[in-house]
Chains A and B, each alone.
Chain A
Amino acid sequence: MERKYIHCEVDKCTGCRICEFVCSAAKEGRFHQELSRIRVAHPTPAVVVSIACRFCENAPCIAACPKDALTMSGENNTLQLDKARCTGCGWCIEACDFGAITVDRSTKSVVMCDLCPSLPQPRCVETCPKKALSLSTSEAVAQRARDRAAAKSTES
């Protein structure tokens, strides 16, 4: 199955963090931004984007885990955690280039995006008021980029 992940169109993202609120509500039953599986980065006033796990083809977090607790598998081909093995050491967090993994101190293990497999679509995608988020494949994102480039090349 082709790899899918939460894609954020940076031109549309406003940094409102509603995705963080609804994700933590869906996963934790309360509002807790730090345990949202999607997080907003807003380093300068004009730069803002939402980031969740991209389920990398050659995932550095899997390679880093000293307990071999992470695998890329399941129906959605998402990152799966063997909680019994996870010690919450956070090496996977250090290996991740996107800050997409978080330690949950209450369970002493890590959490990351699972694409909400029990819902028709991920809660953040469903809720984003600006429709900045979509469940995409790299190919779909690239197709949209090619279409934009093509449109631009024919602008008079």
Chain B
Amino acid sequence: MYSYSGKCLVVDLTTQSTRLEELSESLLSSYLGGVGLGTRLLLEKCPPGAGPLSPDNPLVFASSGLAGTMVPTASKHAVVTKSPLTGLVGDSLSSSHWSLALKRAGYDAMVITGMAPSWVYLFIDDDIVHSRKAEHLLGKGSSQTEEAIRRDAGDNRVRVASIGPGGERLVRYACISNDSSRQAGRTGTGAVMGSKRLKAIAIRGTRPISVWDLDGLQKVCSDLYARSQTSSTEKYRILGTPGNVLVLNRLSALPTRNFQQASFEGAEGISGEHLAECYLAKVTACATCPIACEHLYRVQEGPYAGLEMMLDYESLFALGPLCGISSVPAVLKAAELCDFYGIDTISTGGCIAWAMECFEKGLLTANDTQGLDLSFGNPDALVTMVERIGKREGVGDLLAEGTMRASAQLKGGSEHWAIHSKGLELPGYDPRSMKTQALGFAVGLRGGCHNRSPSYEVDMSPGVDRLKAEPGRGLLNKEKEDFAAVLDSLIICKFMRRCFDDFFAEASRLYTLATGIKMGPAGLKQVGERVNNLKKAFNIREGWTQADDWLPPRMFKDPIPSGEATGAVLSEGELRMMIDAYYKARGWTASGLIPLSKLKELGMDDVVELMKGQRNGAQVHPLRG
């Protein structure tokens, strides 16, 4: 076995002890790494029914067989835990130098359990693990935390993943940031880290990585580097993901003012094209990424002059159109504050947009907002609210719980416009005008997500009527999810996906060249199905019920009012029909459960044992954990 170390570092913060566990070749080749390996370790280490913010919930970091090699975009890691937003599997990816450091310190995975007696950070110096006091780091953002730790270490090879003040205060959608500008953004992994009183994980990883066939790997990678500079990645290289704004706006799929509209009159002014012309300062890349999608924008004038910030489409949509904001500097400032407090930009934007609609409808008043005019389109309100969420101050304390819990508390019909699935706020694709994506959001295993269920690609394919629901979308969504799970476990960035001519053939070859482990195209493809069944198995054990696979009321009651898809809306019947087809395509029961035979077919006999202690869904509190 090459590239992999076969080692998992287990840190118990309660007892301040560490141990190494072996990861067998069969386990690694079944789940690869990333989301797959991480979920497998979560299922094993998480006691059934553990509270997401309890010491029992393990926080898993998973590397991969390709990380640390020259495989394009493979410098990534996954964070997997039980999500404080959904009470189900929470998995999130991040990338770059910290990912390399984890692998090069000699670990394919790291599991953190327990809760430290007082705030600490871990310093992992290859095989030596220190726990250090972190009181002096409290209140610092991720960049400041990283700077302080590196200054103390006196070595810029020390890479840091940390939580900000939002994670310290258990904002349910807090993220874990690394290398200043990368985040494991979604599902609240940072709140779990905060609940353990763990401020940061600093790693100096200095081990070389050897692969099975270096010459073979170099040939395939050089070819992929060349393909990564062609039209297959043009969108990411030239405008970056903000290039989506005008495309989705034209399709009536750009969620605006909390999904009250699906196109935004200010779209031109916040478009990728406008940003490139007026704000672009530099284009950079994650480690080992030949594409380079990171667009650094600089504000030249006004109150935020001098601000430099990277921004992708999802952050831009959530802090822009979703809140009715058309001021680029305000969006950049809000994104900077999200990074400082260490909170997910999508959920933050979703929560603020929900609150703005509550304000519009009189459910929240100036009394509740300490006099702040929380109207859609008010840039100062946006920026102020991000800070209040990060500090859990005033109404920010309510919003820090996420839209599902905040609407359950505020009531007054606000559940109607709490735009989430399973508690995870929806990303920037309107499901009413993209019906395959509607299915993907409804059944998404980590909640509403375009990355784990990237079926917007189906809707945007030639010959597909995106406004129509058909049973065939069930299988298409399954295939998109399984492909994503393979990418997320290998790990290869989604932005590379179009650079492969025959993905499963080429990627399985890359895997073998790096690890020496035999893997064919069919075997690799099956990993995707295995990983998604594993995630589903965890969810079932933790109390998933069929009612969780659904979308917010607005999607069925409020048609899109304007634009190309005027009048588009979902019917409950058509969503039910697509969900039934999806369960069938997965080989699940009509109520969405996994038959034992399916687990056996996928070689997951060991998972059956780990499913014991399954919670009775009926007894689970609706807002789990």
Contact = CB atoms under 8 A, between A and B. Distances in A.
Interface residues of A, number: 24
B229 interface: yes
A63 interface: no
Contacts, number: 77
Contacts of B281: 46
Contacts of A48: 282, 284
A15 to B, nearest CB: 5
A14 B290 CA distance: 9
B210 to A, nearest CB: 4
Interface string B437-448: 000000000000
Interface of B: 68-70, 72, 100, 157, 180-181, 206, 208-211, 214, 218, 222, 225-226, 228-229, 281-290, 292, 294, 296, 298, 308, 310
Contact of B209 (A14, A31, A42, A127): A31
B285 A14 contact: yes
B332 to A, nearest CB: 13
B285 A16 contact: yes
A16 B308 CA distance: 20
A15 B208 contact: no
* A16, A22, A24: residue with the most chain B Cβ atoms closer than 10 Å: A16
Contact of B287 (A17, A35, A46, A130): A17
A66 interface: no
Contact of A30 (B211, B283, B288, B296): B211
A-B pairs, top 5 by smallest CB distance, nearest first, are: A129-B290, A32-B208, A14-B285, A16-B285, A14-B292
B69 A31 contact: yes
Contacts of A74: none
Contacts of A29: 210, 214
A35 B104 CA distance: 14
Contacts of A130: 229, 290, 292
Given A16-B288, A16-B292, A45-B180, A31 B229 contact: no
* A24, A29, A32: residue with the most chain B Cβ atoms closer than 10 Å: A32
B387 to A, nearest CB: 22
Given A18-B225, A21-B70, A129-B229, A46 B285 contact: no
A33 B70 CA distance: 11
A130 to B, nearest CB: 7
Contacts of B226: 129
A128 to B, nearest CB: 9
Given A129-B290, A130-B292, A14 B214 contact: no
A28 to B, nearest CB: 7
B208 A45 contact: no
Contacts of A28: 208
Given A30-B209, A33-B100, A127-B225, 19 more contacts: A14-B294, A17-B287, A18-B225, A24-B208, A25-B214, A29-B214, A30-B208, A30-B210, A32-B208, A32-B209, A34-B206, A35-B208, A45-B181, A45-B282, A45-B296, A46-B296, A46-B308, A129-B225, A129-B228
B115 to A, nearest CB: 34
A35 B310 CA distance: 31
Interface in A1-40: 14-18, 21-22, 24-25, 28-35
Contacts of A46: 281-282, 296, 298, 308
14 contacts: A14-B285, A25-B214, A30-B211, A31-B69, A31-B70, A31-B208, A31-B209, A33-B100, A42-B284, A45-B284, A45-B308, A45-B310, A127-B225, A129-B225
Contacts of B70: 18, 21-22, 25, 31
B218 A25 contact: yes
B296 A16 contact: no
Given A31-B68, A46-B281, A16 B209 contact: no
B580 to A, nearest CB: 45
Nearest to A11: B282
B214 A16 contact: no
Nearest to A16: B285
Contacts of A30: 208-211, 214
A26 to B, nearest CB: 9
Contacts of A18: 70, 72, 225, 288, 290
B287 A16 contact: yes
Contacts of A35: 208
Contacts of B68: 31
Nearest to B210: A30
A32 B68 CA distance: 9
Contacts of B292: 14, 16, 130
Contacts of B180: 45
Contacts of A45: 180-181, 282, 284, 296, 308, 310
A35 B207 CA distance: 11
A33 B156 CA distance: 13
Contacts of A21: 69-70, 288
Nearest to A35: B208
B73 to A, nearest CB: 9
B245 to A, nearest CB: 22
A17 B288 CA distance: 6
A25 B217 CA distance: 11
A30 B213 CA distance: 10
Nearest to B157: A34
B617 to A, nearest CB: 46
